[in-house]
Amino acid sequence: MTKPDLKSIAEIIGSFKLPFQNKSAYKLGIIENAWIEILGEQAYQKVRKFSVKNGILYVYCDSNSLRHELGMQKKRLLDALNKKIDQELVISDVVFY
């Protein structure tokens, strides 16, 4: 009798997400989840839209005060986002509108 080919849960989940990894909606979902974990739900609620183009994250804020505060913490936020999203994608810069 042969052993069954058992896989870990991480391998199974990885195989399910593989076809979606190059899709922009998947990447934005990863970024939005990281944003919520780093800055919290309130900061997420004040963002109108996220977009990514050529490794640059564009964040459209509803609040001028949030845009100013994020601009002051840009380097720290960029490092935290890249650490949180790990190797899913790399963000080289963040631009706030």
CATH of domain 9-96: 3.30.300
Print the SS3 string covering 42-66: HHHHCEEEEEEECCEEEEEECCHHH
Q: Give the Cβ contact number of residue 84 at 10 Å.
A: 15
Could you tell me the pTM of the whole model? 0.77
Q: What 3-state class would DSSP assign to 96?
A: strand
pLDDT per residue rounded down to tens, the chain (97 residues): 677 788 888 888 878 777 777 778 888 898 999 999 999 999 999 999 999 999 899 999 999 999 999 999 999 999 999 999 877 688 999 999 9
